[in-house]
Amino acid sequence: MKCLNCGAEINNNLKISEILFLKEIIPNYICNLCRQQLSPLANRHNCPRCFKPDSEGICSDCLIWEQKYGKTNYHQALFEYNQFIHSYFKLYKRYGDVLLAKLFYQDIKSWSLNNHFDVVTYVPASQGHFKERGFDPVYELYADIFDLKKLLFKIDADKPQAQKNRLERMQTPQTFSALPGINNFQKNQRILILDDIYTTGRTLMYAHDIFLSYGFKNICTFSLSR
């Protein structure tokens, strides 16, 4: 098997436990050289609310969310946003290399096996972005791992989040509305909302607000990168 990012050969050496106990073998699509360029967030004293790395307790961002907006985060992520992640999303989203959706399959799948939810949904692409790219990048990133329910509709914003500074991101108006399927679930069920990147939290907070407005209380969010 070759790395989806650089094309190098991947050596998937099985562990003894996987052979003897027939443990599920999760496919790996990223080589060791590319993986070494990642900055995992696990065990880094992350903010307990948003997973911001190397935080001493609740970070200043989450305190602002709580004190100014009355909102509390319950977010997890896998990797710190760095140059490798930036280049990955440039190829995947801007240049439309949809095959890269599987690059982090092993990491996301492993997380999913240890974190269980009743309903898993995602931040959808707006109609304009979908037509431009020809695919929904967040959906494709997670579709082979989770039983995704499309419960949100997103209108086109004034300009992409990636082109906004921090203040502009925070001032972005609500762009989500609920789809009828949201009424098919019980209010006490655990909801997980997926996105690709968490920057200020504005996008996921708006998605979170939709579920709150429908009476859901147990809502968590997840992103590949933070």
Q: Looking at the 3D structure of the chain, how many domains does it have?
A: 2
Residues whose CB is less than 8 angstroms from the CB of residue 145 and which lie 6 or more positions away in sequence, other chains included = 105, 108, 109, 112
Beta strands at 219-225 and 119-122: parallel, antiparallel or unpaired: unpaired
Domain that holds residue 190: 36-223
Q: Is the domain of 28 the same as that of 115?
A: no
At residue 146's C-alpha, the angle toward residues 10 and 207, to 5°, is: 120
Identify the pLDDT of residue 22. Answer: 63
Q: Is the domain of 110 the same as that of 133?
A: yes
Helix, strand, coil share (%) of the chain residues, nearest 5: 35, 15, 50
pLDDT bracket for residue 20 (50, 70, 90): low
Q: If we measure between CA atoms, which residue out of 107, 114, 117 comes closest to residue 192? A: 117
Q: Is the domain of 177 the same as that of 77?
A: yes
Q: Is the domain of 94 the same as that of 22?
A: no
Identify the pLDDT of residue 193. Answer: 98
Q: What percent of the chain has pLDDT over 70?
A: 92
Q: Is the domain of 47 the same as that of 156?
A: yes
Q: Is the domain of 149 the same as that of 180?
A: yes
Q: Is the domain of 123 the same as that of 83?
A: yes
- Residue 135 to residue 185: CA distance in whole angstroms: 27
Identify the pLDDT of residue 137. Answer: 97
Q: Is the domain of 111 the same as that of 190?
A: yes
Q: Is the domain of 78 the same as that of 106?
A: yes
Q: What is the CATH number of the domain that holds 161?
A: 3.40.50
Task: Note whether 5 and 103 are within 8 A (CB).
Answer: yes
Task: Note whether 146 and 220 are within 8 A (CB).
Answer: no
Q: Is the domain of 93 the same as that of 25?
A: no
Q: Is the domain of 95 the same as that of 121?
A: yes
Q: Which pTM does this prediction carry? A: 0.91
Q: Is the domain of 4 the same as that of 46?
A: no
Phi, psi of 203 (to 5 degrees): -60, -50
